């Protein structure tokens, strides 16, 4: 349908005598599809995931720095794998520079914990400024599949300390969603979140608002009657026993 619409949009300029037929084609509505709710990790789940890599191994230190950077900055996996050493600035004005979709460049600030992780990794990584930030033992840049495989491995390890991860399908883009949700829950405006993630427009950030149940619960609390008791309803043992007998 995208190709057809593109062709007939071009044809509308070249053959105005067929404008009626072309307009009928362009009026064909897009196919409906199910839009799933955004999957993201809670703070406890993120901590368990970052604790999974083995700090005694070179790959473990690399993976922890890589996953922590992805969660804090919300970089796409393609942006993460394309980073070089000199894209990281530590100290005053610490930030990471990346090139996103449409060759749009942006800079995302780094907090102190991630600076500490990256500083330790850069010392272990060595190399020159133009070298890949996250690489294999032989110095080759990590691929998207390699990042997904490492994340899957550490997620299986993290399940042992955080059972809630069992029910979640974890892939690299989930880390980006987790970053957006942490910003949203901290009260950051959706316009700032869109700039942080490199979205083309603010509407792309609406999915995170729909996924956050705490925002909806606060909205529901505002509609409660003045005489209602605050907090969630807690049924009594008598009510629970009655429900069990049904």
One of 61, 64, 150, 208 is an active-site residue; which one? 208
Q: Is 199 a catalytic residue?
A: yes
Q: Is 76 a catalytic residue?
A: yes
One of 62, 125, 150, 176 is an active-site residue; which one? 176
Q: Is 176 a catalytic residue?
A: yes
One of 18, 24, 101, 156 is an active-site residue; which one? 101
Q: Is 101 a catalytic residue?
A: yes
One of 106, 168, 171, 173 is an active-site residue; which one? 173
One of 61, 62, 64, 76 is an active-site residue; which one? 76
DSSP string, the chain: -HHHHHHHHHHHHH-GGGHHHHHHHHTPPPPP---PPPP---HHHHHHHHTSS-TTSHHHHHHHHHHHHHHHH---HHHHHT-BGGGEE-STT-EEEEE-GGG-EEEEE--HHHHHHHHHHHHHH---TTSBSSB-TTSPBPPHHHHHHHHHHHHHHHTTT-GGGGGS---HHHHHHHHHHHHHHTT--HHHHHHHHT-SSGGGGHHHHHH-HHHHHHHHHHTS-TTSPSS-----HHHHHHHHT-
Catalytic positions are 76, 101, 173, 176, 199, 208
């Amino acid at each position: 349908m995208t190709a057809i619409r593109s062709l007939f949009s071009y044809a509308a300029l070249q053959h105005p005598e067929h404008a009626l037929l072309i307009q009928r084609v362009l009026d064909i509505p897009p196919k409906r599809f199910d839009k799933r709710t955004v999957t993201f990790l809670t703070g406890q789940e993120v901590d368990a995931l970052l604790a999974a890599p083995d700090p005694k191994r070179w790959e473990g230190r690399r993976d922890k720095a890589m996953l922590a950077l992805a969660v804090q900055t919300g970089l796409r996996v393609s942006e993460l794998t394309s980073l070089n050493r000199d894209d990281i600035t530590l100290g005053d004005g610490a930030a990471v520079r990346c090139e996103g979709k449409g060759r749009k460049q942006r800079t995302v600030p780094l907090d102190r914990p991630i600076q500490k992780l990256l500083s330790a990794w850069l010392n272990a990584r060595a190399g020159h400024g133009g070298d890949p930030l996250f690489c294999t033992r032989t110095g080759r840049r990590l691929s998207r599949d390699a990042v997904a495989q490492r994340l899957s491995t550490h997620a299986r390890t993290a399940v042992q300390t955080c059972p809630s991860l069992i029910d979640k399908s974890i892939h690299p883009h989930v880390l980006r969603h987790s970053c957006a949700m942490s910003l949203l829950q901290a009260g950051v405006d959706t316009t700032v979140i869109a700039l942080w993630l490199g979205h083309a427009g603010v509407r792309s950030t609406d999915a995170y608002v729909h996924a956050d149940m705490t925002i909806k619960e606060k909205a529901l609390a505002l509609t409660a009657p003045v005489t209602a008791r605050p907090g969630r309803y807690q049924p009594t043992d008598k009510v629970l026993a009655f429900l069990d007998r049904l």
